[in-house]
A and B are shown apart, each in its own frame.
Chain A
Amino acid sequence: MVATYVAAVGAVTGDDKAAFLTIHGHHVAYVESLSAFLGTEAATPSGTPLALTTTGGYSAIAAQLAAHEKATEQAHIDGLSRIQGLDAAGLVASIITVVARHRAALLVSSGADASAL
């Protein structure tokens, strides 16, 4: 997601860029938090962006990113069911609520209404 947002940030300007940068910053923080938690067992994060067409302006890009956030949200929920430790579970839970907010923010800010959530 970090690499994907780097691609997205380069395709927009102004408030749209600030929004993508904020979410990018969150994903950087998730990587750092999870890496710190895992220590030497942490995998090297992929530097390859997910599928993203950076044309069509903010709404078109935000809709694609929202789909990636939804997939990330579900991956964390699925992972949570296999985590035994409470500290790790708490960390992943804190990520899920914000990833959910990312998705909704991207959708609503690009014109979707509440019924689309």
Chain B
Amino acid sequence: MTTQKISRRTLISQGGALAAAGVVLAACGSESSGLARVGLSPSTTALPEAHVSDVVLLRTAQSVENLAVAALTDPVMANGNSATKAAIEVFVAGHRANLAAIAPLVAERGGTGFDKPNTRMMKNYVAGAVALIEGSDQQEADVIAFAHALEGVVAATYQAFVSWTSEPALRAAMMSLAVKPSYYAVALAQMVSPGSKGISPGVDEAGNPVVSALPTKYGSLASFEATIGKVTEAGARTVVSMETPSLNSLEY
């Protein structure tokens, strides 16, 4: 067994070596605790934390109602016939009434209202659909087809939000707002397939599904489609497929 004496000389020489090693390690080290990296290391910004609260859902509902108003009052939607124009006026008034009903629900919960159309849905669905209708040679029919899908997605938005909403009373309030868009979707479907014949889902002579007042699957939250725009050289038209808001299209 050996014993090591700690003398003043040893302390100074070994202490100096330790200090030098510390300086070298400090110089080699970096603030990043990640793997060694060659070249520039761009800094990243963490995403802000976002909670899907009842207020967020109500603000998003406002954005979807505003989207409906913006889409239905777009000048291209005036290309329908007089009956369609009159119906669209009724629908716009209905969506504005829904907006008036949502505003106090937001305020009561300490939220700030959202007075613009849903950002992503406007960009992804409405802007493209409006451009397609503008270039279409069947504008009158396209106005109805697009409005039909739009009303369907507005109603489905409230239905989808029920399972995200925490307050039972608010779920009921939301579903009372889903009623009008559901009515409007039916009124538009009846413009395409009128009378009792247009109520049940079915197919035309070519085997393609016809627009019907009632869906093939009740309560479905599947996408709402509108076949619109100019017929391409291949004989096809564009299908705009709209879905209810998801986490990336809520208005936080």
Chain A interface (Cβ < 8 Å from any Cβ of B): 15-16, 18-19, 21-23, 26, 29, 58, 62, 73, 76-78, 80-84, 86-87, 89-91, 93-98, 100-105, 108-109, 113-115, 117
Q: List 21 A-B contacts (CB under 8 A).
A: A22-B199, A22-B214, A58-B196, A77-B172, A77-B176, A77-B179, A80-B171, A83-B168, A87-B163, A89-B171, A90-B159, A93-B175, A97-B156, A98-B215, A98-B218, A105-B186, A108-B186, A109-B194, A109-B196, A113-B83, A117-B187
Instruction: Summarize B's interface: helix, strand, loop or mixed.
Output: helix
> Which of B155, B187, B194, B197 gathers the greatest number of chain A CB atoms within 10 Å?
B187
CB-based contact B159/A97 at 8 Å: yes
With a CB–CB cut-off of 8 A, which chain A residues contact B201?
22
CB-based contact A26/B168 at 8 Å: no
Within 8 A of A (CB), among B194-236: 194-201, 213-215, 218-220
Interface size, B (range): 35 or more
**Interface assignment of B183: CB less than 8 Å from any CB of chain A:** yes
With a CB–CB cut-off of 8 A, which chain A residues contact B189?
105
CB-based contact B185/A114 at 8 Å: no
Q: In the complex, A36 Cα to B189 Cα: how many Å?
A: 32
CB-nearest residue of chain B relative to A16?
A: B196
CB-based contact A18/B175 at 8 Å: no
- The digit string for B166-181, where 1 denotes a CB below 8 A from any CB of A, is 0011011101101110
Q: A16-B196, A89-B171, A97-B219 are in contact. Are A108 and B187 (CB under 8 A)?
A: yes
Q: In the complex, A97 Cα to B153 Cα: how many Å?
A: 11
CB-based contact B163/A18 at 8 Å: no
**Interface assignment of B241: CB less than 8 Å from any CB of chain A:** no
- Partner of A117 from the list B90, B162, B215 (CB cut-off 8 Å) is B90
With a CB–CB cut-off of 8 A, which chain B residues contact A77?
172, 175-176, 179
**Interface assignment of B127: CB less than 8 Å from any CB of chain A:** no
Q: In the complex, A83 Cα to B53 Cα: how many Å?
A: 19
**Interface assignment of B97: CB less than 8 Å from any CB of chain A:** no
